[in-house]
Amino acid sequence: MTASQWESYSQGRWKQRRRNLIGVYLEAKYSGLAEAEAVRDQSDETDTRIISQQLNEKLLGHFRELASNNQDTDQVDLQFLDQVISDGADPNSSDRFGQTVLHEISRAWSVDVMKFFLERGSDHFRSDQFGVTPLHVASALDYEDMVCFLLDQKADLGARTFLDQQTPLHYAAKNDAVGSIRLLLQAGACITCTDYKNRTPLQLAANMDCTLEITEDSKLFHGYQLQVVVQEGKLDLIMNPVFLKLIQVKWKLYGRFGAWLLLVLNVLLNVSWTAVSISVSVSRQSPDRYAFPQDWWRVVLVVLALLLTLGEVWREVQDILQSKRKFHLRQQWMERRLQEDLKCSHPMWPQERRFLLDETKRVHKMRGSYSQDLWNIFDWLVYSLLTASFSVHVTDVLQPSAFLHTLSLRLFSISIILLWLRLMKHVRAFRLMGPFIVMLGNIVEDVMRFLFLYAEIFIPYACSFWIMFGGLSSVPSMQSVSGLLYSLYRITLVDEYEYAAMVSVDDVMAPLLCGTFLAASSILCVNLLIALLTDTFQRIHDNSKANAMMQQAAVILQVEESMPRLRCFYDDQYISKHCSPLADDCDNLTLNSSYHHEMVHIKAEIKEILDQFLVLQRNMEAVRGSRVQKEDDRQSQQLQNQNQQKKELQAIQADLKELRTLVQQLLQNRTDQT
């Protein structure tokens, strides 16, 4: 063929859309043909074989050269390729990984180039050494036109790679090729097919997680489904009927008993430490902290408080060790699976390999979930304060000192407040209190934002008040820094403050500072805090049921981890035996008369709807029958018309023959006369 004969072929590049996985380095998903191998010793090979190999390398080298050039204006030289194939090049020749030119065409070139090679004997069913076919490549790169063309050529939808057993649909799913997925499914690809890890295309897409931002701070949750939902705080998922039923079954099985047990133990802990703290404060004037034998009950309280505290600390330590053990097992399992995927990765698919390497690094940087629960941190804060308070108290008992006694009282007073606040952790499992405890947790965030704004106003005004009125005997409340700060706090609350004394010192700055500070702190900041709290309350209240279920699920998980001995009191295989699948008794639906009447009413409505549907169906069949009859009549009429036309045409042809015969006779007579 001449050059002009190739003008009808599109010989340019396919304009690929750049859609790399978020967080992955900008490398090509598929690199195409591998570099040519080093020249081997060909002394033992025949001349014909050497020439054939050279022609094959010339064929592949043309595409390698275009790939290295990588310009949008590149064109495939079909005339050159046609000549090379005519000279003896194999259109199915491959590189060292078994990739043919069809793999490269599926990556970067137009459909016409694919047609050109198929017309010359290229096999689009042929895979490389890893089992990757041209359809795998086109599907992964979301090359919709090429996918359509290959499907029209009866490409194998179920072709699987050799190591990871993945179909073209798997390749499209894990590379976020939405268009290819749609085309493959329309062509009949099996959406439930699995790879060597029993992953469907949907699961593989979720596993690759094309929309996950991979950073050092990315969190990776582990554990079974309920743990993941609770750790992620997914209120929409927790309201799924499956999760609701799971929580209900576990709550009845052991959650309710475990929650009540933890609540009772912690109430006893709080009461015992409260009694110990109050008993310490009663004997503040006596040099002997304990007077025996009348103070024996105080020793019993201390021992009880210590035993309960040690029990709580022991459970926390068990939680930490168990969390670490589960975390390390999960980490090893994930690393092993990633290494298996790396072994299956294709050397010419660098983006997937980079993704797996980044996933491996992220797994190495993972941290356990124990510290992510702020309640656990709060627990250790309370335990630390109790330890410090008791240690100072013991030191004060052994070596009585007014300073140590005062310090122990201060520590005990702070510890008791936090200890009773900690009780909310064990009350949140009950649906009445769960949403309110969540609301208090969110209020802490709002208060922190408020305190930042309040500090921005409070600090400069405190300095200004100290400059004008600090240290003066005429303003007693501001003679010290602490007194001044407390006076400003009272101004914020619109409480009493020494305005007259400040006016006597400076009648210009006193109203200016007091008025502006009152407006900024009391009117602006306090009302802003009220608005934030109102918004938080409304947001939590709107999801009150979901929040209650979330807190209940969190306590169920806590009971599972911190109280494993509860398994002795119930069948730990109950869910697998009785809930997989779950059989629900429906006999009680007919016991209630109101339910019975409602069911009768529903059945009547269903029957009426079905009757209407049957009537409509008959009408449609009648209409369809009349349409069929009309169509038959029309076809018979057309057939009659055609027959009539044929008869008329035959009559005209007969007349023409007679006319031609008469003309010939007339001409013959004239010829005879002449």
Better-scored residue on pLDDT, 584 or 90? 90
Vertex 157, ends 151 and 160: CA angle to 5°?
Answer: 140
Ramachandran quadrant class, 317 (left: phi over 0; alpha: psi -120 to 50; beta: rest): alpha
Q: What is the pLDDT of residue 609?
A: 77
27 pLDDT higher than 80: no
User: 328 is written with which tokens?
Assistant: 């390390």
> Which residues lie below 8 Å from residue 339, measured CB to CB, with a gap of 6+?
360
The answer to whether the beta carbons of residues 174 and 208 sit under 8 Å apart is yes
DSSP 20: P
pLDDT tens-place string over residues 44-73:
555 667 777 788 788 888 788 877 777 777
544 pLDDT higher than 90: no
The residues facing 109 across adjacent strands are 13
- CA of 665: how far to CAs of 369, 573, 652, 673, in Å? 113, 111, 20, 12
DSSP 35: P
- Residue percentage of the chain with pLDDT more than 90: 9
Could you tell me how many helices (H) and strands (E) the chain has, helices first? 26, 0
Confidence of residue 268 (pLDDT cuts 50, 70, 90): very high
pLDDT tens-place string over residues 321-378:
888 887 888 788 888 888 888 887 777 777 777 878 888 888 888 777 777 778 888 8
525 pLDDT higher than 90: no
The answer, yes or no, to whether the previous bond of 581 is cis (omega within 30 of 0) is yes
453 pLDDT higher than 80: yes
The residues facing 582 across adjacent strands are 579
Other Cβ atoms closer than 10 A to 309: 19
- Residue percentage of the chain with pLDDT more than 70: 81
Confidence of residue 598 (pLDDT cuts 50, 70, 90): low
Q: How far apart are CA 457 and CA 520, in angstroms?
A: 7
Confidence of residue 493 (pLDDT cuts 50, 70, 90): confident
Sign of CA dihedral 80, 82, 86, 88: positive
pLDDT tens-place string over residues 420-446:
998 888 888 787 777 777 777 778 888
Mean pLDDT of the chain: 79
280 pLDDT higher than 80: yes
Q: What is the pLDDT of residue 672?
A: 66
pTM above 0.95, yes or no: no
Mean pLDDT for 191-205 is 86
Q: How far apart are CA 411 and CA 391, in angstroms?
A: 10
Q: What is the pLDDT of residue 272?
A: 92
388 pLDDT higher than 90: yes
Question: Per this entry, what is the length of the chain?
Answer: 674
Q: How far apart are CA 296 and CA 445, in angstroms?
A: 45
211 pLDDT higher than 50: no
528 pLDDT higher than 80: yes
Q: What is the pLDDT of residue 534?
A: 86
The full 3-state SS of 486-536, as one line of letters, equals HHHHHHHCCCCCCHHHHHHHCCCHHHHHHHHHHHHHHHHHHHHHHHHHHHH
111-119 vs 101-108: helix crossing angle, rounded to 10: 160
The answer to whether the beta carbons of residues 349 and 103 sit under 8 Å apart is no
> Where do the domains of the chain lie?
3-208, 225-427, 461-542, 589-628, 645-674
Confidence of residue 416 (pLDDT cuts 50, 70, 90): very high
Q: What is the pLDDT of residue 286?
A: 63
Better-scored residue on pLDDT, 214 or 646? 646
Q: Which range, of 92-101, 198-207, 220-229, averages the lowest pLDDT? A: 220-229
Ramachandran quadrant class, 555 (left: phi over 0; alpha: psi -120 to 50; beta: rest): alpha
162 pLDDT higher than 50: yes
Homologous superfamily of 3-208: Ankyrin repeat-containing domain (1.25.40.20)
Confidence of residue 461 (pLDDT cuts 50, 70, 90): very high
| Collapsed DSSP state (helix, strand, coil) of residue 94 | strand
- CA of 54: how far to CAs of 78, 88, 316, in Å? 18, 10, 72
pLDDT tens-place string over residues 121-157:
888 888 888 888 999 888 888 888 889 989 888 888 8
463 pLDDT higher than 90: yes
Q: Which of 579, 442, 542, 555 is nearest to 239 (CA)?
A: 542
User: 319 is written with which tokens?
Assistant: 């939680």
Q: How far apart are CA 59 and CA 33, in angstroms?
A: 12
User: 182 is written with which tokens?
Assistant: 């749609």
Euclidean distance between the first and the last CA atom of the chain, given in angstroms as a whole number: 62
Q: What is the pLDDT of residue 21?
A: 44
Sign of CA dihedral 484, 486, 490, 493: positive
399 pLDDT higher than 50: yes
> Which residues lie below 8 Å from residue 354, measured CB to CB, with a gap of 6+?
24, 25, 27
Q: What is the pLDDT of residue 590?
A: 47
User: 447 is written with which tokens?
Assistant: 């208060």
Other Cβ atoms closer than 10 A to 244: 14
User: 623 is written with which tokens?
Assistant: 């209409």
Q: What is the pLDDT of residue 178?
A: 86
The answer to whether the beta carbons of residues 137 and 107 sit under 8 Å apart is yes
User: 445 is written with which tokens?
Assistant: 């965030």
Mean pLDDT for 510-536 is 88
Q: How far apart are CA 155 and CA 127, in angstroms?
A: 12
Better-scored residue on pLDDT, 637 or 674? 637
217 pLDDT higher than 50: no
